[in-house]
Structure 1
Amino acid sequence: MKSSTLTANLSNWKFNIIFYATLTIFTGYALLDTFVIPKKYSTDTKRSQVTVKEVVNTGAKSESRKRPEGFSGPHGSSKHESRTASTTSATADVTTTIDTVSSDTVLGTYSDSVKTITVSEYRANDTSIYVADVRLVGDATTEDSEAYTSRDLIKTAFAEDTYGKNVKAETSVTAEENNAVLAINGDFYGAQNEGYVIRNGVLYRSTSGGNEDLAILTDGSFKIFSEDEVSAEEILSEGASDVLSFGPGLVIDGEIAVTKDEEVGKAMASNPRTAIGILETGHYVFVVTDGRTDESTGLTLYQLAEFMESLGCTTAYNLDGGGSSTMYFNGQVINKPTTGGNRISERSVSDIVYIAKQN
């Protein structure tokens, strides 16, 4: 009897060792597979067939808009109508202003024959906010009359030039590899298993995550849409060159599109933020805020939306924030990214949105 009991106990003991060892190995692999092991994915070669030509002139200034109280720094301008659609339309001839932006602190400027960039620092809600004002200027036509369009301004890039899971690099590294003069972090698609991924007219992922996405169309306009209402194939056929899937939309048709208590997933109420906005075709803003430091608290989504609206954005969109929030300009990181929240350093991310130097 004792021998049988001892044998049974030994069998149970061996089973428990094997079971827990297997469970530990499986759990460890699952964690590595999810967060560490890079996976390079193949490409869905569906591509947008829409081609739009655009001629851009400079001239008249647009109207000034009143800013909410508490913001210091330059302000933009925009005319917006009632909120009936979520597309900022392009026109054949666009008039933009190229006056020097006045601000408390202008951190740097860049200009070439087709664009100007002015990077300024604002201060609001106990937070440093960095704004890159990007404008298409001049007669950018080439000898064969092909126009340098506003869509040519905004580009996207994957870390290591590769689409995949856990394929990451610091924003500054990917920026330098792509000859960028200005770059911000993107939507960090690689951290998610769902959400549309379209880059440079190529559909990489069509699985809906129910997100509110930003489509950058081939004419340079912005469109905010819901993945629950529009398929990846449909938005591609509508002329989407790039689709960023994070959200939410901050400003739609010149109106704030989030509530005062709205947040993203597990985001803190006040956080480092990254956003992109359009004032008119050919005029864009890239925005990054500091946060999680003694110097900067960070912004709520509503405060970010309010700030984007104050710049004159007709459409503005929230990108991945927190430790990912990074702005790179002219060879250096402008803001103070916090990575894990305990030190100032860049986080490696899946992708960037950028403006290239003129070759």
Structure 2
Amino acid sequence: MKKLNKKGLGVLYGVLLFSFSTYALLDTFIIPHPMQSVMASNVVAGTGIKESVEAAIEEKLNTTNSSTEKVANNTDATSGSTANTNASNILTDVQTVDGGTVIGEYSDSNTSITLKQYRAYDSNIYVADVTVSDASALKTALANNTYGRNITDTTSNMAEDNNAVLAINGDYYGARQSGYVIRNGNLYRNTSGDRDALVIKQNGEFEFVSEGETSAEELLQNGAYQVLSFGPVLLEDGEISVGENDEVGMAMASNPRTAIGYLGNNHYVFVVSDGRTSESAGLSLYELASFMKELGVADAYNLDGGGSSTMVFKGEIINNPTTNGHSNQERSVSDIVYIGGTN
């Protein structure tokens, strides 16, 4: 009888341990935990339209034909995912960073966007050249408009929900329990992740900071409008900041990538590359940094890549998101970086 009781207690203990472990895993990675609804930004970025930016936008508008708001409608017949097949066919002969092929354009009174596709490093790379009249046009959004753990949505859904003309995935803050989160002037997480973070200031400039050397509250007080915590820094003052063998964690050397770069005076680039497929190998961090340097980018920052890497332009998924190279579909993520449209 005592043996049976001990055996029964052992089984019960095993069941309880398994149940607890399962719940802990679900609680950490699956079960949504909303922490705070997103409120309207209490910080207004920028001080208005600067003459030099107006001139840049006007120049772009004057050199663009009357059908500026276009992007090729497309469908990847093989995978069923949205992709710009016309541009992909054109790009087979483009092997250098120079030039690129224009696959989409957009303009309104505050924003000018030219979307190009490049072929470099045996990969398809998509670059959105963005000029805005004010840094407040460079926005971020959270999945379901809510800050919290395990709250995710696709980049395309978030883009649609926020009337974004252009969007890329962000830093997937919800996959980590640390790393500063400041979005549209609101502070959501002040726990340091001991990494180099990107600060997009109210005047639109980029600044790189070590989370271990400054607090999120200090950043907010000093004019931080967005703070993204992923990294690493790719370019700083025009110089490459990563080594040829640097990588994020245990990731493979060639991956789909997402990055954002600063060219100066409210002028940015959003960059997404395909990877992990026979058509597109993917980029190392050093290749990504080198590519962006050739574009003339002064400061560049690596965002969440791999299966998260997605670019959406005027409601169309421009690249071919893939996690394992076998399925082409978007990964649900925590957040996006986007440019809103007015037309």
Matching residue of 2:103:
107
Closer, same or farther: CA 329–44 of 1 in aligned 2, 3 Å: closer
Closer, same or farther: CA 332–292 of 1 in aligned 2, 3 Å: same
Deviation at 1:31, TM superposition (A): 1.3
The answer as to whether partners of 1:117 and 1:134 remain within 8 angstroms in 2 is: yes
Deviation at 1:8, TM superposition (A): 2.6
Matching residue of 2:55:
58
The answer as to whether partners of 1:270 and 1:297 remain within 8 angstroms in 2 is: yes
Quick check: 50-59 or 257-266, which moved more? 50-59
Question: For residues 98-140 of structure 1, what are the alpha-carbon distances to aligned partners after superposition, in whole Å with 9 as ceiling and x for unaligned?
Answer: xxxxx4421111111122111111111111000001013xxxx
In 1, Cα distance between the equivalents of 2:203 and 2:290? Answer: 26
Matching residue of 1:97:
none
In 2, Cα distance between the equivalents of 1:116 and 1:208? Answer: 35
TM-score (normalizing by structure 2): 0.84
Structure 1: which amino acid aligns with 2:119? R
Matching residue of 1:347:
331
- The answer to whether the aligner puts 1:170 opposite 2:154 as a matched pair is yes
Deviation at 1:341, TM superposition (A): 4.0
Aligned equivalent of 2:35, options 38, 41, 44? 41
Closer, same or farther: CA 50–326 of 1 in aligned 2, 3 Å: closer
Closer, same or farther: CA 109–334 of 1 in aligned 2, 3 Å: same
Number of residue-to-residue matches in the alignment = 305
Deviation at 1:71, TM superposition (A): 5.8
In 2, Cα distance between the equivalents of 1:310 and 1:164? Answer: 38
Matching residue of 2:260:
276
Let me know the Cα RMSD of the aligned residues: 2.1
The answer as to whether partners of 2:200 and 2:225 remain within 8 angstroms in 1 is: yes
In 1, Cα distance between the equivalents of 2:194 and 2:232? Answer: 11
The answer as to whether partners of 1:336 and 1:345 remain within 8 angstroms in 2 is: yes
In 1, Cα distance between the equivalents of 2:326 and 2:95? Answer: 27
- The answer to whether the aligner puts 1:116 opposite 2:112 as a matched pair is yes
Aligned equivalent of 1:13, options 3, 7, 27? 7
- The answer to whether the aligner puts 1:317 opposite 2:301 as a matched pair is yes
In 1, Cα distance between the equivalents of 2:149 and 2:324? Answer: 20
- Larger Rg computed on CA atoms: 1
The answer as to whether partners of 2:38 and 2:146 remain within 8 angstroms in 1 is: no
In 2, Cα distance between the equivalents of 1:27 and 1:214? Answer: 35
- The answer to whether the aligner puts 1:249 opposite 2:233 as a matched pair is yes
Structure 1 outlier segments of 4+, above 6 Å? none
Closer, same or farther: CA 71–220 of 1 in aligned 2, 3 Å: farther
Deviation at 1:152, TM superposition (A): 2.2
Deviation at 1:50, TM superposition (A): 7.3
In 2, Cα distance between the equivalents of 1:188 and 1:201? Answer: 18
| Fraction of identical pairs, as percent | 54
- The answer to whether the aligner puts 1:72 opposite 2:71 as a matched pair is no
In 2, Cα distance between the equivalents of 1:221 and 1:199? Answer: 15
In 1, Cα distance between the equivalents of 2:107 and 2:219? Answer: 33
Structure 1: which amino acid aligns with 2:107? S
Partner SS state of residue 219, structure 2: helix
Partner SS state of residue 157, structure 2: helix
Partner SS state of residue 193, structure 1: coil
TM-score (normalizing by structure 1): 0.81
Partner SS state of residue 292, structure 1: coil
Extract unaligned runs of 5+ from structure 1. Answer: 1-6, 62-69, 75-102, 137-147
- The answer to whether the aligner puts 1:237 opposite 2:261 as a matched pair is no
Question: For residues 286-329 of structure 1, what are the alpha-carbon distances to aligned partners after superposition, in whole Å with 9 as ceiling and x for unaligned?
Answer: 00000010101100000011111111111100000000000000
In 2, Cα distance between the equivalents of 1:11 and 1:192? Answer: 43
Matching residue of 1:25:
19
In 1, Cα distance between the equivalents of 2:321 and 2:105? Answer: 21
